[in-house]
Amino acid sequence: MEFIYFTATAIILYVLSDMILLRVERMRGRPFQQRSLVFMAILMPLSLAVFALIRNLAG
């Protein structure tokens, strides 16, 4: 069951990170040159925090 939680969470975090990146780029007025690095900088802390939370709650 934990596998399903991690998979669903990964999909949600991917979409959420993309939305955050698009919003930051819109506020900035232009896209980032190293867009993939900024995306990973958003995705990595979110995923580490949420996956640790799932692992603690799931046992």
Q: Which domain, by its residues, includes 25? A: 2-58
- Structurally, how many domains does the chain consist of? 1
Cβ(2)–Cβ(58) under 8 Å? yes
Q: Which two tokens stand for residue 16?
A: 């959420």
Radius of gyration of the chain (CA): 14
Residue 59 has pLDDT above 80, yes or no: no
Query: For residue 57, what pLDDT is reported?
Result: 87
Higher pLDDT, 21 or 6: 21
Q: Which two tokens stand for residue 35?
A: 């867009």
pLDDT in tens, 11-54: 999 999 999 999 999 999 999 999 999 999 999 999 999 989 98
pTM higher than the cut 0.95? no
Length of the chain: 59
DSSP structural state of residue 14: H
